[in-house]
Chains A and B, each alone.
Chain A
Amino acid sequence: MSGDLPVMIHPAGAYLHGFHGGLKLRHYKQISTARALAQPPLPEYLQLSLQQHAGSPAIAVVKPGQHVTKGELLARAGDGLSAPVHAPTSGTIAEIQTLPLLRKPARSAPSIRLHPDGEERWHPDCERSIGNWRDFTPAQTMQRIAASGIVGLGGAVFPTASKLSSQWQTPAHTLIINGAECEPYISCDEMLMREHASEVMLGARIVAHALGITEIVIAIEDQLGALASALETARSQLNDEHILVVRVPAVYPEGGERQLIKMLTGLEVPSDGYPQTLGLACINVATAWAVKRALLDREPLIERVITVTGAIAEPRNWLCLLGTPIQHLLQCSGGLTDPGARLVIGGPVMGEQVTDPALGIDKGSNCLLALAAEQLREPQQSMPCINCGECVRVCPAMLMPQLLYHGIRKGDHALSNRLQLTDCIECGCCDLVCPSQIPLTDYFRAGKQLQAQQRQQQARADKSALRHAAREQRLQDEAAQAARKEAERQARASNPDQAQAVIGAALQRARLRKQAQKHNRNDTDGDTS
C-alpha cells in the first residue's frame, strides 16, 4: 500500500473530477431556509444520551438530584473511541436510565434527564481564559477538541480529535471542510455557513494550524450561489488566500467524505484506509464551527443546528441544545401539517425513523424531517430482480448491488464477501432506482450484520478450537511424561543390573566430586603458604 502512494498533481479543488454513480435528487431545501436561524425556547427537560458518538458510551460523573451548570461535564469519555457529554444548560439531574438511541433504535445506552432551571448559568471553566490558540501545540489543540466532546457533526459522530490525530501515511497537506450537504431537505450546514461563515473559517484555521498546514478547501453545492458569495466575503475579511471555496455539482451522495474527496482530488480513499492515507483531513462545517467555539469561546459542544422541515407548519433551522426532545422541536415549529406523516431523524434517503418523540436530539442529528404520508415508500411486495443494472449504474461504491442481493438472499456469504459488501455505504441510491422496488439497502444492512455475527462466531470458534488443541496437547504431554516415568520405573524394577549400574554411576559421580573438592582445597592451601 505505502509503496505506491498516489501523488497529487493538482491541489484539491483546483478542478472537479466527478465520482461514479449517484443521483440528482430534488432538493426541497428552500422549504427550511426562508426563516432565519433561531433558538427554540428552553424545553421542560433535556434527554442526553451518553452514546452520541462512535465508540463506547460516556461514563456519567453526576448523580440524580445533583445541580449542574451550563457546560459542566456530565459524563467523561469511555475507553477507546469515545467522547464526553456536557450539560447544555444549568439545572438538575432528574434521573439516569437506559433508553434506545435516537438514530439507532435497535441499540440502547444510559441517558441523562436534565431539568433546566432557566438560569443558563455557565460553569466557571467555560469563563476562564485558556490563552491564544495560536500558541497551542497540536497536542494541546487536539486535547481541547477531545475534552469539548466534539465529534463529526455531519452524522458519522466519529470523535474529531481521534480522527485528526490518527496515523498520517502521507504528510498532511489540505483540510477539506465538507459543506456539501447533498441529501434532500437538509439545510443546517447551509444556514450555519450563511450566518456564521467567518466563524466556520476560523474553526478551519484552528484545525489546519494544529495539523501544521495552511491549505483549506470549503466545498459547497453548486446551486448555492448566494452562499458562495457570502463565504467569499468572509474569506476576504479574514484575508486568507489559502482558503478556497469550491462549488461542487449537487449529486447525491456528494457529501460522503470519500465521494467528496474523489470529486475534489480525483483520488480514491483506499477501501481499508482513511483520508489521512492521502494526506487529507475532512471535517464537516458544523464540526469546524464547534472547534472555533471550543477554542475561542471555551464552550464545549452543547448545541447544534438542526433542520426541522417537511410536513411542518413552520419549517426552519434551529440552533438547538443537545438533548432537546423531538416533540418539543415539533411544537416550536408549529406541529405537523399531516397527522399521518412519518418522523425521520436525518434525510429521506439515509435517515432513521423516530420511534420515540420523547427522546432528545444528539450530536449527529442534522435534520428532523416529517415526510407526508403520500411521499412515503409503501410497504409493498417487491417484484423479482430483472437485472436491469440501474443499481450498478448509480452505486457510488461501484458495487454490483443486484448480485449482492442474490448472494445475501441465498445466504452465500462467500459471494457477498467477494463482492465487497463491507464497502457499501448504505446511501440508498440503488433502492431509489430499482424498478422491482426491492429494499436493497435493508438487505445490505442485514447482510453486514450477519457477516459481523459470523465473524464473531468464527473468532469464538477459532479461539475455542485453539484452546481445545492446547488442552489436548497438554494432556498428551502429561500422559507421555507419565508413561515415560512409568516405563523407566518399570525398567529399573525389572532389570536389577541396570538398577545397580545406575546406583554405581551415582556413587562414582559423588566420589569424583569429593576428590575434586579435596584437590581444590590443597591448591588453595599451597598458595597461601
Chain B
Amino acid sequence: MTRMAAGAPHIPAQTSVQKVMAQVLLALLPGILAYMYYFGVGILVQITLALLFAYTFEYLSLSARQQPLRNYLCDLSAAVTAVLFALSLPPLAPWWCSLIGMLFAIVIAKHLFGGLGQNRFNPAMVGLAVLLISFPRIFTHWSPPAMLVDNPLSMLEVLRTIFTTQPPPGMSWDAITQATPLDQLRTGAATGLLVTEVRQGPVFGHFGGLGWEWIANWYALGGLWLLWRRVIHWRVPVAVLLTTFMLTTPFYLFDPDANPLPLQHIFSGATVFVAFFIATDPVSGSATPRGQLLFGAGVAIIMLAIRRWGVYPDGVAFAILVMNMFAPLLDQYTRPRVFGHPR
C-alpha cells in the first residue's frame, strides 16, 4: 500500500506569525505604560481607536479580497500596525486621525499591495505620513509631561477633547499642550538661542525630553527583549542608534552651542521607538545582513537630515518610507555569498 508521503521535515516550526506579532505587542507594553504615566490616558484612547478602525478595515479588506478571515484576523499584524501608529500620534489628537491613518495603513498600504507580507511600505508610517502632510497642526498639540502639570486632565476631559476635537471648556490648547523638546530646539535655533539656553527649559530632562527619555528607556527594554527572543535582529536597531550617535557627535564637538548632545537625539523624539519597533519591520525592510545595516543607517541619516533642515520636527515617518523604497535594491545588491562559492 502506497500513500502520499509527507515531505521532510516532519516536525513543526516552533513559531508563527501570530506569535511574532504577539511578542512585538508585549514588548511595547512597558513603553505604553510609561507613556501613560508621563502623558496621561490619552494614548490609551488613541490605541483603542486605532485598533477599532484597523480591525474594521482589515475585516472589510479581507472580505473584499475573499481571503480566509479566521487565519488572517488572528495573525495580529493589524494590531501591531494600529498600536505603532497610535503611539506616534499626540495623545489628544482628534478621533478621526485614527480613521484616516488606518484607512491609508490597512486598506491602501497593506491590502491594495496584496495583504500581509506584500506591503512595500510600512503601513503605520504611511498612515502617519498622510496625517503629517495633511494636518500638520495636529502634531503641534503634544501633552506636557505629568511633572509639569498641576491638574492633569480627567479621563472624561480627555475623551471629550479627542471626540469634540476641542480643548475642554475654559481651557485653551496652549494650556493643555506644549511644544515638544525637538520643536523647542528648532524654534530656539531659529531665534538664535544657544542649545544650552533652550535646554534650560522645563521640558528637558537629563538627555532628551522630560518623560520622553524614560519612555525611550522602556521601549529599549522591550526592544532588547525582542532581540533576546530573536523576533528582531540586532543589525537594524544598532545601525539606527549608532549612526545617529556617530553623525551627531562631530557636530556637537565642533559647536556644542548650536548642536544638541548626541544623546539628546537618541533620547528625544521617536529614535529609540523607531530603532526597535518601526525600522525592524521585516516586510518592508531588508532581509540580508548587510542590507539591514544599510537600512538602519539610512533611516538615521534621513531622520537627522529632516530634523536639521526639514520643516518637520521629527522626520522618522519619511525616513522609514524612503528607506522602504530602497529595501528591494538593498536585498538585490547585498546578497550574501553562497557557501562554497568564491568570495
Contacts and interface: CB of A to CB of B under 8 A. Distances in A.
A pairs with B: yes
Interface of A: 19-20, 100, 105, 258, 262, 268-273, 342, 344, 346, 348-353, 355-356, 371, 375-379, 381, 383-390, 392-393, 396-400, 402-403, 419-420, 423, 426, 428, 431-437, 439, 441-442, 445
Interface in B1-60: 1-3, 5-17, 19-20
27 contacts: A19-B339, A268-B340, A271-B339, A342-B6, A348-B9, A349-B8, A350-B9, A352-B5, A355-B1, A356-B1, A376-B10, A378-B12, A379-B6, A386-B282, A388-B20, A398-B339, A400-B287, A400-B335, A402-B287, A419-B338, A423-B338, A423-B341, A431-B9, A431-B13, A435-B20, A436-B16, A441-B8
Interface string B310-343: 0000000000000000000001000111111110
A388 B2 contact: no
Given A385-B117, A386-B117, A397-B338, 14 more contacts: A258-B340, A344-B10, A352-B5, A353-B6, A376-B10, A377-B6, A379-B6, A386-B20, A389-B287, A389-B288, A392-B287, A431-B13, A435-B13, A442-B7
A182 B289 CA distance: 26
Given A377-B10, A387-B283, A392-B288, A423 B17 contact: no
Interface residues of B, number: 45
Interface string B161-178: 000000000000000000
A355 B337 CA distance: 38
A393 B337 CA distance: 13
A271 B9 contact: no
A371 B10 contact: yes
Contact of A271 (B13, B77, B282, B341): B341
* Interchain residue pairs A-B with the least CB separation, the first 7: A384-B117, A271-B340, A428-B9, A389-B287, A377-B12, A353-B5, A388-B282
Contacts of A402: 287
Contact of A383 (B5, B75, B340): B75
A129 B75 CA distance: 70
Interface in B65-113: 68, 71-72, 75, 77
The majority secondary structure among interface residues of chain B is loop
A235 B182 CA distance: 71
Contacts of B117: 383-387, 436
Contacts of B3: 355
Contacts of B115: 384
Residue among B3, B8, B285, B331 with the highest chain A CB neighbour number at 10 A: B8
Residue from A19, A269, A371, A385 whose CB has the most chain B CB atoms within 10 Å: A385
B247 interface: no
B180 to A, nearest CB: 33
Nearest to B14: A432
A400 B7 CA distance: 21
Contact of A396 (B12, B14, B71, B339): B339
A368 to B, nearest CB: 13
Contacts of B63: none
Nearest to B335: A400
B154 interface: no
Interface of chain A, main secondary structure: loop
Contacts of A378: 12
Given A273-B340, A386-B116, A351 B17 contact: no
B233 interface: yes
Contacts of A434: 13, 15
B341 A420 contact: yes
A420 B11 CA distance: 26
Contact of B13 (A20, A350, A437): A437
A387 B341 contact: no
Interface in B248-287: 282-283, 285, 287
A347 to B, nearest CB: 8
A389 B230 CA distance: 11
B118 interface: yes
Nearest to B289: A392
B13 A258 contact: no
Contacts of B283: 386-387
A345 to B, nearest CB: 10
Nearest to B11: A348
Which of B6, B9, B117, B282 has its CB near the most chain A CB atoms (within 10 A)? B9
B9 A100 contact: no
B336 A392 contact: yes
A32 to B, nearest CB: 17
Interface in B128-183: none
Given A400-B335, A420-B338, A423-B338, A383 B8 contact: no
B275 to A, nearest CB: 17
B13 A433 contact: yes
Contacts of B292: 389
Nearest to B231: A388
A381 B12 contact: no
A437 B16 contact: yes
Nearest to A386: B117
A387 B282 contact: yes
Residue of B6, B14, B331, B339 most packed against chain A (CB within 10 A): B339
Contact of B8 (A19, A20, A428): A428
Contacts of A445: 7
A436 B287 CA distance: 15
Contact of A435 (B6, B19, B68): B19
Nearest to A442: B7
Instruction: Kindly name the residue among A268, A379, A386 whose own CB sees the greatest number of chain B CB atoms within 10 A.
Output: A386
A387 B296 CA distance: 16
Contact of B2 (A100, A271, A423): A100
A376 B340 contact: no
Contacts of A387: 117, 282-283, 285, 287
Contacts of B331: 400, 403
Contacts of A383: 16-17, 71-72, 75, 116-117
A270 B12 contact: no
Contacts of A355: 1-3, 5
A435 B16 contact: yes
Contacts of A100: 2
A377 B11 contact: yes
Contacts of A19: 339
B12 A384 contact: no
Given A385-B117, A400-B288, A403-B331, A435 B17 contact: yes
B166 to A, nearest CB: 41
Most buried by A among B2, B13, B342: B13
Most chain A beta-carbon neighbours within 10 Å: one of B15, B230, B289? B15
B326 to A, nearest CB: 14
Contacts of A390: 15, 230
Nearest to B327: A387
B316 to A, nearest CB: 21
Contact of B71 (A342, A376, A381, A432): A381
Contacts of A442: 7
A431 B117 CA distance: 17
Max chain B CB contacts within 10 Å: which of A371, A378, A390?
A390
A450 to B, nearest CB: 15
A261 to B, nearest CB: 10
A405 B245 CA distance: 38
Contacts of B288: 389, 392, 400
Given A344-B10, A353-B6, A258 B336 contact: no
Contacts of B5: 105, 352-353, 355
B1 A400 contact: no
A20 B340 CA distance: 12
A385 to B, nearest CB: 5
